[in-house]
Chain A
């Protein structure tokens, strides 16, 4: 467990991607089976321990510590597992630390009711770093900035095999991946990929910035505001992958079940109908489903999802990636026509006369699900990653409003301990501020420090972790759209609000009114 804990900490403190890959590769080479296999599964997100839920860890903590002291600590640290690991008394001195596989075996063979006690016993045998790694391992979600793809890349580097070969056999194998390591070390043949659907890296776009392109060379499509997704199917099995190559099939089973083509396609996961244009919560609901191991029928019914197809990578067994976009597009249209129209449609090509016309159409487009325009070179193949000059994203100009900061809360993760989440409001005709949104991005580190100081120096009341501040600071807020909302007293909600400027020069009573915001509803 200590080696695994050291790896986790190493990954947390290392910024460079290459260095992270190197750390994982070293660990995979130096650690015996099956520990390294479980660790690889934990990093790639394929490890699931059914008996431990994060609520159980909080419950365990509140049973052992004063709940108020625990909450204050959790509020400061910004992470439940780390808080518990740090608060837990150190009595590990003589104890023998458990191995990763011992932990996995014990937790897999206990019940949900007995798991907290078992965890507590294991915690007593570890130091603070070990306890942190244990809790992260048990709950899944290591949060060390490693995607499934990067974990496989590290495996490839450790044993000198290609990451695509790893991808191809990956889904035919199960943790702790003994066959994979045996192959990596040259002790056995490459495992049989069987009839396996696997991930291919996405093609990504550069921002267009202030440039322009010739529409004879570039096709234009709307950039949809959902979740980019890849569907791979061999006919025998269908898998869904997110941008980082993490498998998300279990989160969207209705899509996998409805897909009756064979091949690999690229598209955007969206919510059908009014829902997508309405409450911003619909997108959040989609996001929250991403991390789930399973979803209820109610969740599926509440937000009917479908995939808007952008591209085709494989048609049947035929690799289309080296073909120009025009050829792939024709093939995609034929492919899409055979799919269930309830769950799949085609991302339309925008028919613009020229670039200026396109700019007009982009400016006029206010549907909440449109994030901007994509420009794709007609003769470009489908290439992994972000290649210069082939694909551009041209995001819509945001709307802005001047709002007044009302409440602040500490952030979590990288921003724990900073007051970095701000609730802001606009004025009613009676001169009352009502909240219209919450933002936690858009400012620089220096601005964050200033904002944090402002909150601390201007607190007028505290409600648990939330501070109410003096209503004196105007924030210019940028957002993609505004729409009706029953959730907020103001009756409106913003889509993707972020702080665009601090208006320290502007008096609070000159900030925008709710009526001004309402006029922007598109």
Chain B
């Protein structure tokens, strides 16, 4: 029943002055600043520095780093890591597959975040611990849907862990996008979207809404789109925007990574309206800070209701909250008589999806 704001013991202890309500008894899973350590198996989950043995939930760079010894991940995540880091190899774990390492049973389950994203279930000494990684509960044509996994301890993300974040239905956002394209026939719509996951989801949703014209993409996205298509995610006709004449893209939709939007790269486009597909777009000033004219509230993370509904559904006896708004979700747990503690992982504080 206690909510404990607790810094992981290994982060710059000399700089921290956080009040520790009580010392948490040594658990066989240890949260560290640079990842979650599964002690009996001597394995790290999503370590942010090279580890001998790493379990990786999904391919985003803040979870899948290069330079590990042995990696266990889904085949799709391994393919993404191979694409990004070149040399990466590992042991493929399909959804539902498991293995045992020194008394810890480890298995992978769909998280619904991006292609190949997984939750990791750890079973040891009669206790079940689920690490969600990043997840969402909404339908996504580009990846397997989240599966709730009963557990004693849930280590959950909380990127959008504030009650102001409720993501609207994606159909509404796609309709808004298509209406803006319709109204701007002489120009184009430039959408800023993460190269892994968000871009492909937006494309697939556009196709689902019946938009079958070619979609123009930034060069940095091509390989990832090819990888998705090779994994049976149809994306329709994609054309590289690089090198095209302005006139060819008139009335079109262009997708680029957020970093390219206010860059010289965007000057090649015909009179673009800048859109951004992100859960942060829910807050007006966040959209304005990024010079966004057409905010699209599309997120691959669970929103507040998905986070809290999942906790009510699973009712773990303990919830550990990682990167994101740990304080607010912790408060909610307290109000709902759920035991929770906040973990402080470095490099993943709230700007995750930017």
When the two chains form their complex, are residues A13 and B162 in contact, meaning their CB atoms are under 8 A apart?
A: no
A415 at the interface (CB under 8 A from B): yes
Kindly supply a per-residue 1/0 record for chain B positions 265-289, scoring 1 wherever the CB is within 8 Å of any chain A CB and 0 otherwise: 0000000000000000011111111
When the two chains form their complex, are residues A461 and B17 in contact, meaning their CB atoms are under 8 A apart?
A: yes
| Contact flag A73-B164 (CB < 8 Å), given A68-B331, A414-B285 | yes
A79 at the interface (CB under 8 A from B): yes
When the two chains form their complex, are residues A66 and B164 in contact, meaning their CB atoms are under 8 A apart?
A: no
- The stretch of B100-108, B133-141, B191-199, B291-299 in contact with A is B291-299
B328 at the interface (CB under 8 A from A): yes
Kindly supply a per-residue 1/0 record for chain A positions 1-25, scoring 1 wherever the CB is within 8 Å of any chain B CB and 0 otherwise: 0000000010011110000000000
When the two chains form their complex, are residues A76 and B285 in contact, meaning their CB atoms are under 8 A apart?
A: no
When the two chains form their complex, are residues B162 and A76 in contact, meaning their CB atoms are under 8 A apart?
A: yes
When the two chains form their complex, are residues B283 and A13 in contact, meaning their CB atoms are under 8 A apart?
A: no
- The stretch of A81-89, A199-207, A298-306, A337-345 in contact with B is A81-89
What chain B residues lie within 8 Å of A68 (beta carbons)? Answer: 331
Kindly supply a per-residue 1/0 record for chain B positions 146-189, scoring 1 wherever the CB is within 8 Å of any chain A CB and 0 otherwise: 00000000000000001111100000000000000000000000
What chain B residues lie within 8 Å of A470 (beta carbons)? Answer: 15
What chain B residues lie within 8 Å of A456 (beta carbons)? Answer: 349
Looking across the interface, which residue of chain B has its beta carbon closest to that of A70? B163
What chain A residues lie within 8 Å of B293 (beta carbons)? Answer: 13-14
What chain A residues lie within 8 Å of B291 (beta carbons)? Answer: 15
When the two chains form their complex, are residues B328 and A86 in contact, meaning their CB atoms are under 8 A apart?
A: no
Partner of A73, one of B285, B295, B328: B328
What chain A residues lie within 8 Å of B332 (beta carbons)? Answer: 66, 69
B312 at the interface (CB under 8 A from A): no
When the two chains form their complex, are residues A13 and B294 in contact, meaning their CB atoms are under 8 A apart?
A: yes
Looking across the interface, which residue of chain A has its beta carbon closest to that of B292? A13
How far apart are the CA atoms of A136 and B332 in the complex, in Å? Answer: 28
B353 at the interface (CB under 8 A from A): no
What chain B residues lie within 8 Å of A413 (beta carbons)? Answer: 285
| Contact flag A65-B17 (CB < 8 Å), given A72-B327, A416-B283 | no
Looking across the interface, which residue of chain B has its beta carbon closest to that of A132? B284
How far apart are the CA atoms of A382 and B87 in the complex, in Å? Answer: 71
Considering residues B15, B282, B295, B332, which has the most beta carbons from chain A within 10 angstroms of its beta carbon? Answer: B15
What chain A residues lie within 8 Å of B164 (beta carbons)? Answer: 73, 76-77, 83, 86-87
| Contact flag A460-B16 (CB < 8 Å), given A65-B163, A73-B163, A86-B282 | yes
| Contact flag A77-B283 (CB < 8 Å), given A13-B293, A15-B291, A83-B164 | yes
How far apart are the CA atoms of A90 and B163 in the complex, in Å? Answer: 12
B250 at the interface (CB under 8 A from A): no
How far apart are the CA atoms of A72 and B286 in the complex, in Å? Answer: 16
A458 at the interface (CB under 8 A from B): yes
Kindly supply a per-residue 1/0 record for chain A positions 72-113, scoring 1 wherever the CB is within 8 Å of any chain B CB and 0 otherwise: 110011110011001100100000000000000000000000
How far apart are the CA atoms of A76 and B285 in the complex, in Å? Answer: 10
What chain B residues lie within 8 Å of A83 (beta carbons)? Answer: 164
When the two chains form their complex, are residues B284 and A82 in contact, meaning their CB atoms are under 8 A apart?
A: yes
How far apart are the CA atoms of A415 and B289 in the complex, in Å? Answer: 7
What chain B residues lie within 8 Å of A77 (beta carbons)? Answer: 164, 283, 285
A234 at the interface (CB under 8 A from B): no
What chain B residues lie within 8 Å of A12 (beta carbons)? Answer: 284, 288
What chain A residues lie within 8 Å of B165 (beta carbons)? Answer: 86
When the two chains form their complex, are residues A69 and B163 in contact, meaning their CB atoms are under 8 A apart?
A: yes
What chain B residues lie within 8 Å of A78 (beta carbons)? Answer: 285
What chain B residues lie within 8 Å of A13 (beta carbons)? Answer: 284, 287-288, 292-295
Nearest Cβ on chain A to B258's Cβ, whole angstroms: 14
Looking across the interface, which residue of chain A has its beta carbon closest to that of B273? A13
How far apart are the CA atoms of A77 and B280 in the complex, in Å? Answer: 10
Kindly supply a per-residue 1/0 record for chain B positions 321-354, scoring 1 wherever the CB is within 8 Å of any chain A CB and 0 otherwise: 0000101100110010000000000000100000
What chain A residues lie within 8 Å of B349 (beta carbons)? Answer: 456
Looking across the interface, which residue of chain B has its beta carbon closest to that of A458? B15
Nearest Cβ on chain A to B12's Cβ, whole angstroms: 8
Kindly supply a per-residue 1/0 record for chain A positions 453-493, scoring 1 wherever the CB is within 8 Å of any chain B CB and 0 otherwise: 00010101100000000100000000000000000000000
What chain A residues lie within 8 Å of B285 (beta carbons)? Answer: 77-79, 413-417
How far apart are the CA atoms of A413 and B328 in the complex, in Å? Answer: 21
How far apart are the CA atoms of A417 and B283 in the complex, in Å? Answer: 10
Number of chain A residues whose Cβ lies closer than 8 Å to a Cβ of chain B: 32
How far apart are the CA atoms of A78 and B284 in the complex, in Å? Answer: 10
Nearest Cβ on chain B to A134's Cβ, whole angstroms: 15
When the two chains form their complex, are residues B15 and A414 in contact, meaning their CB atoms are under 8 A apart?
A: no
When the two chains form their complex, are residues A417 and B335 in contact, meaning their CB atoms are under 8 A apart?
A: no
Nearest Cβ on chain A to B276's Cβ, whole angstroms: 11
How far apart are the CA atoms of A456 and B349 in the complex, in Å? Answer: 9
What chain A residues lie within 8 Å of B15 (beta carbons)? Answer: 458, 460, 470
Q: Which of A391-429 contact B (CB under 8 A)?
A: 413-418
How far apart are the CA atoms of A414 and B164 in the complex, in Å? Answer: 17
Considering residues A14, A69, A415, A460, which has the most beta carbons from chain B within 10 angstroms of its beta carbon? Answer: A69
What chain A residues lie within 8 Å of B286 (beta carbons)? Answer: 416-417
When the two chains form their complex, are residues A73 and B162 in contact, meaning their CB atoms are under 8 A apart?
A: yes
Nearest Cβ on chain B to A107's Cβ, whole angstroms: 23
Nearest Cβ on chain B to A301's Cβ, whole angstroms: 38
What chain B residues lie within 8 Å of A417 (beta carbons)? Answer: 283, 285-286, 289
Looking across the interface, which residue of chain A has its beta carbon closest to that of B349? A456
What chain B residues lie within 8 Å of A65 (beta carbons)? Answer: 163
Looking across the interface, which residue of chain A has its beta carbon closest to that of B287? A13
When the two chains form their complex, are residues B163 and A87 in contact, meaning their CB atoms are under 8 A apart?
A: yes
Partner of A72, one of B18, B289, B294, B331: B331
Considering residues B282, B286, B295, B349, which has the most beta carbons from chain A within 10 angstroms of its beta carbon? Answer: B286
What chain A residues lie within 8 Å of B328 (beta carbons)? Answer: 69, 72-73
What chain A residues lie within 8 Å of B294 (beta carbons)? Answer: 13
How far apart are the CA atoms of A416 and B162 in the complex, in Å? Answer: 15
| Contact flag A86-B295 (CB < 8 Å), given A66-B331, A72-B162, A73-B163 | no
How far apart are the CA atoms of A72 and B325 in the complex, in Å? Answer: 9
Looking across the interface, which residue of chain B has its beta carbon closest to that of A9? B284
Nearest Cβ on chain A to B26's Cβ, whole angstroms: 26
What chain B residues lie within 8 Å of A79 (beta carbons)? Answer: 284-285
What residues of chain A have their CB less than 8 Å away from a CB belonging to chain B? Answer: 9, 12-15, 65-66, 68-69, 72-73, 76-79, 82-83, 86-87, 90, 132, 413-418, 456, 458, 460-461, 470
Closest 3 CB pairs of A and B: A86-B164, A460-B17, A416-B285
Mind listing 15 A-B residue pairs with CB under 8 Å? Answer: A12-B284, A12-B288, A13-B295, A65-B163, A72-B162, A72-B325, A78-B285, A79-B284, A82-B284, A87-B164, A132-B284, A416-B283, A460-B15, A460-B16, A470-B15
A-B contact sample (17 more), CB < 8 A, given A86-B165, A460-B16: A13-B284, A13-B295, A66-B332, A66-B335, A69-B162, A69-B163, A69-B335, A72-B325, A76-B162, A77-B285, A79-B284, A82-B284, A413-B285, A417-B286, A460-B15, A461-B18, A470-B15
